[in-house]
Amino acid sequence: MARRIAGISTAIALQERLRYASFTIYERAGDVGGTWRDNTYPGCGSDVPGHAYSLSTELNPSWSSYLVSQPEIRAYWEALFHKHNLGRKTLFNHDITTLQWDQGEQLWRLTAVDRFNNTEKEVEAHIVVSAIGGFMYPLFPDIPGQESFKGLTWHSARWRHDIDLKGKRVGVIGNGCSAAQLIPKVSEDPTVEVINFCRTQQWYSPRIQYTYPPWARWIFSHTPLATRLYRIWLMVKVSLLSVLVATVYLILWFQVFSSYMKKTAPEEYHKYLIPSFPPGCKRIIIDPGFLESLHRPNVSMVWDGIERIEESGIKLRTGEQVSLDVIVFATGYGLNPKLPMSGKNKLNLQDFFASQGGPTSYMGTCAPGFPNLYTLLGPNVATGHSSVIFSEEVQIQWVLQLIKPVIDGAVKSLEVSQEAFHEYNAWLQERLKNSVWTECHSYYRSDRREGKVVANFPGPMSLFWWILRKPRWNHFVLVGGESWIRQQSRARRIRLLGIFVGFLALVCTGLASSDSIRQGLKFWMQQVSVSSIVGCTCIDSFDSKVFDMEGWK
């Protein structure tokens, strides 16, 4: 299943890294692009730099600006789709309605519905990678009377480009990222009156934006190393900022952001805008001109709360009636689509999540009871501050290592053990319990209020990459892989023997000094130890559990 750009990324990796082409992409829509296909509202774009919002294997030297808009992002992913000839591997307008594990045959049975012809068929798959994502399903608030409104209404994720807003009173419900991007654009027309109905505060930061001059794009195009170094610099900068935001510099960021908001927004809104929770508790909005647009005479904010929607508009809790021609719901997305997934013993994935207090997985990718099923951008994967493309690439390279023995026919199925699952999540929640994400209500949490944090990974991108460099095979239950396990053990012994022989050769030929002998012995002892533990002081500073070469000790 691949309804997002993560599906494109996975397909490219399968073809280029594993040289494997026996796969099918099921796409619910009639075209590619995922989030950037569906979200086309005015002002839509990424708040992550374009050079960081691209595949590491497919760098784009032609980004026009630091932050890029929706059309440019979609064009990039469409180009990759066609470059790698993925159209021949894709079934468009196909929806997966059921997913059932067959324990006897060790494979998944899927029901694929052709939405165009309204037909369905049963499909078998040894491996399923779910790339559905979290920004596909518009979320509507539970406000009474929505069906009674006589005007026009739609969600920001399904923008009505056929409707001319000129001369209309437009109510925008919600004040998150989507509203912050679309309101400045819609209100550029002075004949359009925009009333923004707000419920909770948000943190806004100054927006860094600039266009790359022709000479810079020329360098990126003709010097791939320059493009890669620039991307690395962007990633390092973002990681460092995330560490600073989460430490003693939190008070400084509070002052910086609140000062910016007071300086930019009208004074009458200051008491409503400034949050009481710390920056980073929710996703910080990179201000695209929203606060400045509040000075326009055709833009206003309402903080009195909505009681209900009526025929002519919205009734506030104060009793005031606000007449409207159009209502736009900029109220986010449903993060947990109810796709029926049944694993071993008919265990339903939604029931499993409920038993864990919300979406929970091992490495954000798999769960016990669901062999050969991998989810991209699953629970606790996003870092809350950086490009999800990087997080997904890390997951994909980890998943490729897991599925390779199945593809090669050496193993029938892999399933994470209960012990490893609980150990990992205990570590995860221990780090999350005092994090900034627990300081407020947000979609980062399982019930969007007081539930556990299910969206974010408690650490920088480098830590996420470290623990997913390679699988820890003893954390998995393998079916039909006895000979493969023996081969892996034999290959490991051969590698260690090679290291030992090479070290002895250095000693015997007198090419190693006493200092280098000591260093060599230390290295060799690390290699032959049972867990191949290599102490990493850079990670030890984050947590008492030191992650080793295969996971954690």
Domains of the chain by residue range: 5-136+334-479, 138-333, 482-552
pLDDT of residue 408: 93
pLDDT of residue 240: 74
pLDDT of residue 518: 52
Asked if the domains at 5-136+334-479 and 138-333 fall in one CATH topology, the answer is yes
Angle between helices 214-222 and 224-245 (to 10 degrees): 110
- What contacts 234, CB < 8 A, 6 or more positions away? 49, 51, 52
Q: Which amino acid is at 340?
A: P
Helix (H) / strand (E) element for 507: namely helix 482-508
**Pair type for strands 341-342 and 94-102:** parallel
Contact yes or no for 36/70 (Cβ under 8 A): yes
pLDDT of residue 45: 96
Q: Which amino acid is at 176?
A: G
pLDDT of residue 242: 64
550/205 Cα distance (integer angstroms): 39
40/412 Cα distance (integer angstroms): 43
pTM listed for this prediction: 0.86
pLDDT of residue 170: 98
Specify burial of residue 258 (Cβ count, 10 A radius: 0-12, 13-18, 19+). Answer: middle
Low-confidence ranges of the chain (pLDDT < 70): 1-3, 134, 241-249, 335-338, 384-385, 489, 506-507, 509-553
**Pair type for strands 193-197 and 169-173:** parallel
Question: What would you report as the CA-atom Rg of the chain, rounded to the nearest whole angstrom?
Answer: 26
Task: Assign domain 138-333 one CATH number from 3.40.630.30, 3.50.50.60, 3.30.70.120, 3.30.70.270.
Answer: 3.50.50.60
CATH class of 5-136+334-479: alpha beta
pLDDT of residue 509: 67
